[in-house]
Amino acid sequence: MANTDKQVTKDSALKKQTIINMLRSALPIIGLVVVFIVFNTLTKGNMWTSRKLILNQVYVVLISTVGVFFIMTMGGLDFSQGSIMGMASIVVCMLSKVNIVLAIVGGVLAGAAIGAVNGFFYVNRKIKSFIVTICTMFLFRGFIKYMASNSPVAASMKVYDYDTLGIKLGITLAVLAVSFLVFRFTKFGIHLKAIGAGEKATKFAGVRTDRVKFLIYVLAGAITGLAAFVNIVKNGSATANVGNQLETQILIALVLGGMPISGGAKVRFENIIVGSLLYIVLNNGLIMMGLTTQAMQLIQGVIFLIFVALFADRQSLSVIK
């Protein structure tokens, strides 16, 4: 008797858990659809007409979100993404005057180098990732200001040739496709999730966790370096504010996409795409509604808080690494 009771409570507890999980995973998509419809109605279809403009803003956020997605999957954070974007953009601008291919490679390498600095202090010096990346955020922002304050660093005029839908969408899709493959179908993806869910046990299962952690920061830097190329193609020059607050945009996008902030086994690749789209639609919708910047930030803050509260994985709640 006692045993069947136990079974029933266990079953109902599991069932409840599944329903909650299903709701949680469906929420971002429902949110995207609802937000899109609401803003289209409110702006009387204006949003749909300007979809190309809106889509144009998605690429950079979408690409750089991929790297941070990997970082957050293993339970880390990265606040230096904006500064990485800035540094890489400046490098791209300078090298574009020599050769476009060189500019792309240079941007990627610059991003990877900053990622390596993050990774070194995080892994070898064992400093928490949000502390390390806040430090590098300020450090490299200082560099950017130094390089671009007097006058923006302009790229070669040639970059405008690459400002086509094919190139921007192509790079974005390629990054997404490769990352999806790696994340879903290689041991790398399983290792990442395992580190997020329990680093010590993962280490004891034979995963070289320190190496993985370091490489992820390098990779995230490199991906954002590639995004910097798309950014420069769009804008033509790097100002002192280039990439400013990109890290916040990425973080909001991921959380809106349903990413649990502690990472681990519950992350889904869809988080990136749904989240980035949701963020951009929300942002543009608010602008089109004619809201002031202050009001926008306020509303964004409230929405961000609600989503974090909804998706926080309280079972595995631990300090962010």
Partner 1 sequence: MSEIRLQVKNVSKSFGITKALQDVSFDIAKGEIHALIGENGSGKSTLTNSLTGIYQKDSGQFILDGVEVNPRNQVEANNEGISIIVQELGTLDGLTVAENIFLGHENKFVKCGIKNTGAMNRKATELLKEYGFERIKASDMIEHYNFEDRKLVEIVKATYFNPKIVVIDETTTALSGEGREELYKQMKRIREAGNTVIFISHDLPEVLRLSDTITVLRDGVYIDTVKSSDVDEDGLKKLMVGREVSGEYYRADYGERVSDEVVMRVKNVTVPGLISNVSFDLHRGEILGFGGLSESGMHEIGKACFGASFDREGTVELQDGTQINDIPTAIAHSIAYTSKDRDNESLVMNQSIRDNICLPSLKTLANKLHLLRDGKLKKFAQQFAATMSTKMESVDQFASNLSGGNKQKVVLARWIGKDSDILLLDSPTRGIDVKVKQDIYQLMDKMRKEGKSIVMISEELMELIGMCDRIIIMKDGEINGEIMRDKDMDENTLIAKMV
Interface with partner 1 (CB under 8 A): 2, 6, 9-10, 13-14, 181, 185-187, 190-191, 193-194, 197-198, 200-208, 264-266, 313, 315-316
Q: Quick one: which of 241, 210, 221, 274 has its CA closest to 81? A: 221
What minimum distance in Å lies between the beta carbon of 161 and partner 1?
35
Smallest gap from residue 130 Cβ to partner 1 (A): 21
Q: For partner 1, give the closer residue by CB, 181 or 298.
A: 181
Our CB check for partner 1 shows the closer of 4 and 294 to be: 4
Decide whether 3 or 294 has the Cβ nearer to partner 1: 3
Q: Would you state the structure tokens that stand for residue 146, as one six-digit string?
A: 């130094």
Q: Of the two residues 215 and 296, which places its CB atom closer to partner 1 in the complex? A: 215
> Which residue's CB is nearer to partner 1, number 143 or number 188?
188
Distance CA 177, CA 190 (A): 17
CB atoms within 10 A of CB 242: 25
Quote the least distance from Cβ 187 to partner 1, whole Å. Answer: 4
Minimum CB distance to partner 1, residue 319 (Å):
15
Contact 84, 224 (CB under 8 A): yes
Q: Give the burial string for 178-215 (b: 16+ CB within 10 Å, else e).
A: ebbeebeeeeebebbbbbbbbbeebeeeebebeebbbb
Pair 66, 187: CB distance under 8 Å: no
Q: Find residue 153's DSSP bridge partners.
A: 238
CA dist., res. 3 & res. 5, Å (int): 5
Nearer to partner 1, 141 or 191 (CB): 191
Cβ atoms of 107 and 247 within 8 Å: the answer is no
CB of 145 or CB of 187, closer to partner 1 = 187
Shortest reach from residue 272's CB to partner 1, in Å: 20
Min CB(177)–partner 1 separation in Å: 14
- Cβ distance to partner 1 smaller for residue 162 or 311: 311
Question: Position 56: which residue type?
Answer: N
Residue 238: in which H helix or E strand, if any? strand 237-238
Q: State in angstroms the smallest separation of the CB of 194 from partner 1.
A: 5
Other residues' Cβ atoms within 10 Å of the Cβ of residue 120: 15
List the Cα angle 293/33/82 in 5-degree steps. 45
Contacts of 10 by beta carbon, 8 Å cutoff, 6+ apart: none
Min dist. Cβ of residue 206 to partner 1 (A): 4
Kindly tell me which of 51 and 208 has the beta carbon lying closer to partner 1: 208
CA atoms within 13 A on the CB side of 48: 9
Angle between helices 100-119 and 209-235 (to 10 degrees): 140
DSSP state of 266: T
Shortest separation between residue 286's beta carbon and partner 1, angstroms: 35
